[in-house]
Amino acid sequence: MLALRGVRVQYGSRAVLHGVDVTVSAGELLAVLGANGSGKSTLLRAAAGLTPAAGGTVTVDGRRRGPLDIALVFQQIHLVRRRSALENVCAGALGRLPLHRSLVFPRVVREEAMACLDRVGLADRAHDRAGSLSGGQQQRVAVARALCQRAPVLLADEPVSALDPAAAEQVLALLAELAHDEQLAVLAVLHQPDLARRHADRIVGLRDGRVVLDGDPSQPVESLYVSALEPAP
């Protein structure tokens, strides 16, 4: 389980997360919703340790978060385009390989990476260059790479914002399936309440750096976006 307790983040003198409590259980896909600027990415970055927190704690399975505990997937898919899908997935294992072996991936890692690619439905594209795959396929390779990291927590920041509706649906379904089948704790920042409703087990809504709703994905979320829709005074 991923647990954020009382997490505060400041940029300069400006507080953007005001003591946020969020938990994600193993086997659960949590969607984080909120208007632009509400603090979703900051929450994810604080959970991953990419942005320092001014207060609060982040734990994974009750322990202080370790460097290999969290795998990340972003909207901008950071694959090495000239390398094969398989090599990109192997890179997920880098954190647990001895440094001198990092340039040539051992067979056991290649086999595990192939299993991860199979898990996301892309085993048949393993030897294609990542850059030759569609956006949706590339995002699935990025998810496979995260799987190959063997982290218990997967954080995804707007993982489907650059994808067409069919690919977005497929990637969200994949994230839900991985949460349920692999018992991962998955947190996805989303801009599409409908996708959250269809695929998430729970939603958290942020407004101005505070959690203002936390619960069933079928609950109304329109209030999160009201201020964003109001005309400027």
Ligand X SMILES: Nc1ncnc2c1ncn2[C@@H]1O[C@H](COP(=O)(O)OP(=O)(O)OP(=O)(O)O)[C@@H](O)[C@H]1O
In terms of CB distance, is 86 or 204 closer to ligand X? 204
Give the shortest CB-27-to-ligand X separation in angstroms. Answer: 25
Q: Could you give the residue ranges of the DSSP H alpha helices within 72-189?
A: 85-90, 107-119, 135-148, 165-182
In terms of CB distance, is 38 or 138 closer to ligand X? 38
Give the shortest CB-172-to-ligand X separation in angstroms. Answer: 17
Give the shortest CB-167-to-ligand X separation in angstroms. Answer: 20
Give the shortest CB-189-to-ligand X separation in angstroms. Answer: 6
Distance CA 218, CA 232 (A): 30
Dihedral pair phi/psi, residue 215, rounded to 5°: 170, -145
In terms of CB distance, is 141 or 171 closer to ligand X? 171
Instruction: Put residue 109 in one of left, alpha, beta given phi > 0 → left and psi -120 to 50 → alpha.
Output: alpha
In terms of CB distance, is 144 or 154 closer to ligand X? 154
Q: Are 145 and 138 in contact (CB under 8 A)?
A: no
Which residues of this chain interact with ligand X, rule CB under 6 A? 11, 16, 34, 36-42
